[in-house]
Amino acid sequence: MVTLPADTFRFLSQLKKNNNRKWFETNRSRYLRIREGVLQLTAVLLERMKTFDPSLTHTRPESCLFRIHRDIRFTNDKSPFKTHIGVAISSKGKNFPGAGYYLHLEPGNSFAAGGCWFPDAHQLYQIRQEIDYNYRDFIQILQSPSFRSFFTGLDDDHKLTRPPKGYAADHEAIELLKLKSFTCSAPLPQSLVTSPQLARRVTQVFAAMYPFIQFLNAALLEDDSDKISFS
């Protein structure tokens, strides 16, 4: 069984209090050990996940792990480092033209999630159209026992208050069509993420969302020229 390095969450907590390059360089060796542990966890996840999602057969763990460095070009927060670890899994790792899986590791706020986070206007149109055309199939996925065992529904961050253009207020799928992101997430208790059961539970969560991922990709991957990436 694979477990995260024991120092993972202590390091992240200390980084939050010392988010500067000098401290990070002093503790770089700690981060590199943690990074290697996360890559080992990702390799185990990929091996297990390809049994239900064959598109992951050739995905490399290194392509899934986000850099610890923040992009500070367009933000007032100039803290140089992220205080969490993110892993995005798809056939092309973290950069993918469709929906995928995401593991977030942060002290007191770890979760497993997936879907398409804030797609651009064209992709949003594609997803809404797919829901409009195949609403019954989509509801069947969201109400399935496997999905409901981990998720209460879809995340509703920044949901519209009015119907989107082109859809009537009494459309049977209107509450779903108001969404601007199409994601679901399941919290991971701290006791779990530090235990040997982490890979097993995350695999179960990702397996439960696989039909949801498939539905989104049926819309998003029709036109491979429009690419998104997790961030």
Distance CA 105, CA 10 (A): 12
- Express each pLDDT in 132-190 by its tens digit: 999 999 999 999 999 999 999 999 988 999 999 999 999 999 999 999 999 999 999 99
Q: Does pLDDT of 114 surpass 80? A: yes
- With bands split at pLDDT 50, 70 and 90, how would you rate the model's confidence at 96? confident
Return the pLDDT at 223: 52
Taking CA atoms, 195 is separated from 3, 83, 106, in Å, by 6, 21, 15
**DSSP run (H or E) holding 116:** strand 110-116
Distance CA 59, CA 46 (A): 7
The answer to whether position 228 is within a domain reads no
Taking CA atoms, 26 is separated from 21, 30, 143, in Å, by 9, 9, 49
Mean pLDDT of the chain: 94
The count of domains in the chain is: 1
Q: Residue 88 forms beta bridges with which residues?
A: 102
What value does the mean pLDDT take over residues 96-118? Answer: 95
The answer to whether position 46 is within a domain reads yes
Helix axes 28-49, 198-220, angle to 10 degrees: 70
Structural domain harbouring 144: 8-223
- Express each pLDDT in 30-45 by its tens digit: 999 999 999 999 999 9
* The pair of three-digit structure tokens given for residue 221, joined into one six-digit string: 């991957």
Q: Does pLDDT of 227 surpass 50? A: no
Q: pLDDT exceeding 90 applies to what percent of the chain? A: 88
CATH number, domain with residue 151: 3.30.930
Q: Does pLDDT of 120 surpass 50? A: yes
What value does the mean pLDDT take over residues 198-225? Answer: 90
Q: Does pLDDT of 224 surpass 50? A: no
What are the phi and psi torsion angles at 184 (to 5°)?
A: -135, 150
The answer to whether position 229 is within a domain reads no
What is the per-residue burial (b if ≥16 Cβ within 10 Å, else e) of 159-191?
eeeeeeeebeeebebeebbbbebbbbbbebeee
Return the pLDDT at 175: 97
Helix axes 121-133, 135-142, angle to 10 degrees: 90
DSSP character for 114?
Answer: E
The answer to whether position 97 is within a domain reads yes
| pTM for the full predicted model | 0.92
Return the pLDDT at 228: 39
The answer to whether position 179 is within a domain reads yes
Asked if 90 and 116 touch (Cβ cutoff 8 Å), the reply is: no
The answer to whether position 3 is within a domain reads no
Return the pLDDT at 73: 83
Distance CA 177, CA 173 (A): 6
Asked if 151 and 210 touch (Cβ cutoff 8 Å), the reply is: no
Return the pLDDT at 91: 93
- With bands split at pLDDT 50, 70 and 90, how would you rate the model's confidence at 226? very low
Q: Does pLDDT of 74 surpass 90? A: no
The answer to whether position 33 is within a domain reads yes
Q: Does pLDDT of 71 surpass 80? A: yes
The answer to whether position 209 is within a domain reads yes
**Residue scoring higher pLDDT (66 or 76):** 66
Distance CA 227, CA 119 (A): 10
